[in-house]
């Protein structure tokens, strides 16, 4: 299967378990790899036949900016569910990073892989 990717989509949100984290906005970064057959789009050269990564990005940005999760795990699961239920993606790999969360590390986070069957979509 082909993959459409979005790399380093950075969005500010409320994320974290500590009181001080609930009062500020912090950056999170997403990398997505989405299974999608690109052959119809390659043949037609038409946006209607492809996975519109701009639409995916805009949807996730809007959701993340409005969210207030405590855990990156919860945010990652919700982002994956949005992509799998609202876009023609059969499977995805999502990496959600929280830069600067641990001293001495550039980022921490989770990497998940989900498919449409696991969401009930």
Confidence at residue 117, expressed as pLDDT on a 0 to 100 scale: 83
CB 113 within 8 A of CB 76: no
- Give the CA-trace dihedral at 13, 32, 60, 119, to 10 degrees: -110
pLDDT at 120: 54
Among residues 86, 81, 28, 29, the alpha carbon closest in space to that of 56 is found at 86
DSSP string, 50-71: S--HHHHHHHHHHHHHH-EES-
Element (H, E) at 2: none
At 39, which CATH number?
A: 3.30.1130.10
Q: Which residues are catalytic?
A: 98
CA distances from 11 to 43, 52, 60, 64 (A): 34, 19, 9, 7
Instruction: Identify the domain containing residue 17 by its residue range.
Output: 3-119
If one counts the domains in the chain, the total is 1
Q: Return per-residue pLDDT of the chain as tens, 121 residues.
A: 899 999 999 999 999 999 999 999 999 999 999 999 999 999 999 999 999 999 999 999 999 999 999 999 999 999 999 999 999 999 999 999 999 888 888 899 999 999 998 755 5
pLDDT at position 102: 84
Q: Which helix (H) or strand (E) holds 81?
A: helix 72-86
**83: Cβ contacts below 8 Å, ≥ 6 apart:** 32, 34, 56, 59, 60, 89, 92, 94
């Amino acid at each position: 299967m082909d993959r459409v990717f979005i790399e380093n989509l950075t969005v500010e949100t409320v994320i974290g378990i500590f009181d001080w984290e609930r009062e500020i906005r912090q950056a999170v970064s997403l990398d997505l790899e989405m299974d999608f057959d690109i052959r119809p789009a390659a043949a037609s050269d038409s946006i209607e036949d492809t996975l519109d990564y701009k639409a995916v990005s805009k949807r996730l940005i809007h959701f993340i900016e409005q969210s207030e999760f405590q855990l990156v795990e919860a945010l990652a699961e919700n982002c994956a569910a949005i992509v799998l239920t609202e876009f023609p993606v059969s499977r995805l790999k999502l990496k959600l990073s929280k830069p600067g969360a641990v001293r001495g590390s550039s980022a921490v986070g989770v990497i998940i892989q989900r498919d449409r069957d696991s969401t009930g979509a």
